[in-house]
Amino acid sequence: MTSYLQIDGVTKKFGDFTALEKVDLSVRKGEFVTFLGPSGSGKTTTLMIIAGFEKATHGDVLIEGRSISRLAPHERNIGIVFQNYALFPHKTAAENVYFPLQMRSIARSAGLRKAQEMLSLVGLEGMGGRYPKELSGGQQQRVALARALVFEPSLLLLDEPLGALDKNLREQMQIEIKRIQRTLGVTTIFVTHDQSEAMSMSDRIVVFEKGRIEQAATPLDIYHRPATRFVAGFVGESNLVPAEIKDAGGVAESAALGACDFEPAEPVSPGDNVTLLIRPEHIRLSRKPIEGRKNVSMHVDTIVNYGDNSLVIGRVGDLQMRVRVLGADVVIIKEGEDCCVSWLPESVYAIPAA
Amino acid sequence: MRMLGVVVVIFIAAPLLIVVPMSFSSARSLQFPPPGYWLGYYQAYFTDLTWLRPTWNSIVIATATMVLTMVLVVPATFALVRHRFAGKSIADLMMLMPLAVPHIVMAVGYYSFLGEYRLVHTHIGVVLAHTCLSVPIAFLVLSANLKGFDRTLERAAQSLGASPIKTFIHVTLPILRPGLVISALFAFVQSFDETVVAIFISGRNAETLPRKMFDSIRQEADPVIAVISTLLFAAVLLALLAPAGWKGIRSRLRARTPPTAITTGR
């Protein structure tokens, strides 16, 4: 894999506090990578180091093999869309988009023409004359995107750009950003704490926690084969069960579930401590045990109805379990009753204990 | 509440209602209500050098004060609002100090201090003293503006290829322009309006308009004072209404341009 953007052992300290610890990452040309993590996990700090607004205490950042650590932000040729868009209030949409071209000494008439083309690409044809305050949140977002892309940056950074938008608009913008990114083929880093956003948009997700990268993998791998307990808990809903390996072929034993078959993705040996991950949507609810599945009996405490699906929360021994049930399945069971929950061995993933 | 409002408005407007008619009065001294009306005192003001010279002095001194104040206040405000350094809170306090000290105390101080450097009765002396009084006002206005300034705009500009200097010229300065204009205007008006310090140190050479008016009202109650007051009021009114009028003209011009032709708005 040839790397386009390379982050090499980057550490960032603020006084005694270590915000980033030896972060390594390599990004391919044209890739859409999402930095996902809770606030304070280091994802934004990493972004600011790439942009040049923060200086790494140790380590280096390279684009196409050349270090950019010594370059000032304005010399880096990196487009950024900020959380609050940061449009210049005294300039029209077209002038905002023209600004980076103006800074590159491109003549006003040619520059404004290019700005208009860019505005058309983001779906703001004919809106160039408006001032930012005359535009809606979604439109301002598009202007900010056009402005960050018009000078053909070597990298596009998006810092939680959808946070301020309402749900419908956010979904629309997710699709829109993805479309524009594919059209231009620009290497993109997207920062968010919203896991569904990360899932739907990314080629690869990098999960940050406490200044470290927990895992960098495709969305499906992050979801189905999380590297750590934290990733499994942070991305999606999960049932996490501490267990011990009994058989390297795929048997683990836990206090609550007893012996439990699974399909090992990585080699394990008997005696290893692992955490078993069973996603709530992979569990089935029934009155009687189902042949060919691992069955346990659960006492149902709470049922939360979401319309198209329901969340059933219950107890297996001391273990709390969450089960996602689609539509009508939930009709068979009531709160306070006992029922049978079951899953297939391939729905169980064993996370090695770090 | 409404009654109170009316009373306050009357109280504020009353001097104007008295001074404006008096400026057109034909009486030999200030007198209200005027016995008759003519424009003689306007002619007197515009032809009498003993009035025109102080007016010119005031304009020169206020302009110089405004320039000097802004030269000092703009960098100082950026330093005090945006940076942390040792002694910052003391520096903050010193900036505002002249507001707390009575003008008469300041005036006595300037008189003896400037005397040593032979700057009493000179334009430079008055400008220096007035600048001290204008700095806190300009600083207050500008720092309030700067505190409200979103610094991600500067980061955005830099990410788009603007060097720090270009960022300042193309982004910071234009966005702060209203605050800069207002603080400069306050500095100008403060100097133009100031009387106490001017009485102490302006002398005959650098005599300012307020000082001349003060002398004149003590000696002869010359109705030209009413003329000047009226003219000043008219000037202020014009300055206040100008921006609104300009906006009206601009929006009318914009409305006339067909929408497809708008690319830059200005």
What are the tens digits of pLDDT across the range A137-191? 889 999 999 999 999 999 999 998 887 788 888 888 899 899 999 999 999 999 9
Does B237 share its domain with B197? no
pLDDT digits (tens, 9 = 90+) for A80-105: 999 889 999 999 999 999 999 999 99
C-alpha closest to that of A111 among A98, A124, A120: A98
In this structure, are A148 and A276 located in the same domain? no
Q: What is the pLDDT of residue A50?
A: 96
Which chain A residue is nearest to residue B264, measuring alpha carbons?
Answer: A129
Q: Give the span between the Cα atoms of B259 and A57, in whole angstroms.
A: 52
Same domain, A109 and A82: yes
Task: Provide block-wise average pLDDT over 10 residues at a time, chain B (266 residues).
Answer: 89 86 83 82 89 93 96 94 90 90 91 89 93 94 93 95 95 93 93 91 88 87 87 87 81 61 44
Q: How far are the Cα atoms of A160, A184, A265, A349 from residue A242, in angstroms, in the given order?
A: 34, 46, 17, 12
Is A95's CB within 8 Å of B264's CB? Answer: yes
Q: Say which residues have a Cβ less than 8 Å from residue B84's Cβ, sequence separation at least 6.
A: none
Q: Please check whether residues A131 and A39 belong to one and the same domain.
A: yes
Confidence of residue A1 (pLDDT cuts 50, 70, 90): low
Q: Is residue B4 part of a domain?
A: no
| Predicted confidence (pLDDT) at residue A253 exceeds the cutoff of 80 | yes
Chain B residue with the nearest C-alpha to that of A116: B263
> What span, in angstroms and rounded, lies between the C-alpha atoms of A192 and A172?
16
Same domain, yes or no: A296 and A218: no
Pick B31 or A335 by higher pLDDT: A335
CATH number of the domain encompassing residue A100: 3.40.50.300
Tell me: do B167 and B37 sit in the same domain.
no
Query: Which one of A51, A87, A112 has the shortest CB-CB distance to B159?
Result: A51
* Inter-chain CB proximity B259 and A129 less than 8 Å: yes
What strands, in cross-sheet order, belong to the sheet with A5-14? A17-27, A5-14, A58-63, A66-67
- pLDDT over 70 (residue A58): yes
**CATH number, domain at B114?**
1.10.3720.10
Are B39 and B143 members of one domain? no
Tell me which of A180, A213, A229 is where a domain ends.
A229
Answer whether residue A313 shows pLDDT above 70.
yes
Task: Tell me: do B43 and B106 sit in the same domain.
Answer: no
Domain check: are A199 and A254 in the same one?
no
Residue range of the domain that includes B248: 17-47+225-266
Residue of B151, B154, B159, B180 to mutate, interface with A, max A Cβ within 10 Å:
B159
Task: Please indicate, yes or no, whether residues B233 and B214 belong to a single structural domain of this protein.
Answer: no
Q: Are residues B137 and B71 in the same domain?
A: yes
Residue A275's alpha-carbon distances to A245, A344, B60, in angstroms, are 10, 17, 82
Query: A330 pLDDT exceeds 70?
Result: no
Q: Which residue has the tokens 């267990």?
A: A243
Same-domain check for residues B81 and B108: yes
Domain assignment present for B253: yes
Residues in chain B: 266
Give the model's pLDDT for residue B259. 46
Residue B88 inside a domain? The answer is yes
Are A60 and A166 part of one and the same domain? yes
pLDDT in tens, A204-217: 999 999 999 999 99
Does residue B8 form part of some domain? no
Asked whether A118 and B160 are in contact (CB, 8 A), the reply is no
Pairing of strands A204-209, A32-36: parallel
Selection from A346, A244, A344, A238 nearest residue A294 by Cα: A344
B162/A74 Cβ within 8 A? yes
Q: Are residues B29 and B123 in the same domain?
A: no
Please judge whether A88 and B153 are an interchain contact, meaning their C-beta atoms are less than 8 angstroms apart.
yes
| Residue labelled with tokens 């926690």 | A209
Domain-located, residue B165: yes
Task: Name every chain A residue with its beta carbon within 8 A of the beta carbon of B152.
Answer: 82, 84, 86
Q: Which residues contact B265 (CB under 8 A, 6 or more apart)?
A: A92, A95, A129, A130, A131, B254
Query: Domain total for chain B?
Result: 2
The answer on A192 and A141 residing in a single domain is yes
- B34 and B67 belong to one structural domain: no
Among A204, A229, A254, the domain-final residue is A229
Is residue B160 in a domain? yes
What's the gap in Å between the CA of A117 and the closest CA on chain B? 12
Tokens 């016995």 found at: B35
pLDDT of residue A307: 81
Same domain for B139 and B242, yes or no, is no
The minimal CB distance from A90 to the residues B174, B259, B263 is found for B174
| Residue contact B150–A79, C-beta within 8 A | no
pLDDT in tens, A39-48: 889 999 999 9
A262: domain CATH number?
2.40.50.140
CB–CB contact A88 B166 (8 Å): no
Q: What is the pLDDT of residue A354?
A: 60
Q: Average pLDDT over chain A, rounded to whole?
A: 91
* Residue type at position B56: W
> Quick one: B110 and B242 in the same domain?
no
Q: Are residues A79 and A210 in the same domain?
A: yes
The alpha carbon of residue A212 is apart from the nearest alpha carbon of chain B, in Å, by 26
pLDDT at A181: 92
Number of domains in chain A: 2
pLDDT of A329 over the 90 cut: no
Q: What is the pLDDT of residue B263?
A: 45
DSSP assignment string, B168-213: IIIIIHHHHHHHHHHHHHHHHHHHHH--HHHHHH-TTTT--HHHHH
Chain B residues with CB under 8 Å of a chain A CB are: 150, 152-153, 155-164, 166-167, 170-171, 174-175, 259-260, 262-266
Whether residue B159 is found in the same domain as residue B229: no
Q: How many degrees, rounded to 5, is the angle at CA A176 between CA A175 and CA A178?
A: 65
Domain closes at, from A180, A209, A229? A229
| Full residue range of the structural domain in which residue A32 is found | 5-229
Q: Residue B256: what pLDDT?
A: 60
Would you state the pLDDT for residue B260?
45
- The whole-number pLDDT of residue B191 equals 94
ipTM higher than threshold 0.85 = no
Q: Which residues of B touch A77 (CB under 8 A)?
A: 161
Q: Are residues A191 and A52 in the same domain?
A: yes
Claim to verify: residue A179 and residue A265 sit in the same structural domain = no
In a shared domain, residues A10 and A42:
yes
Same domain as A91, residue A217: yes
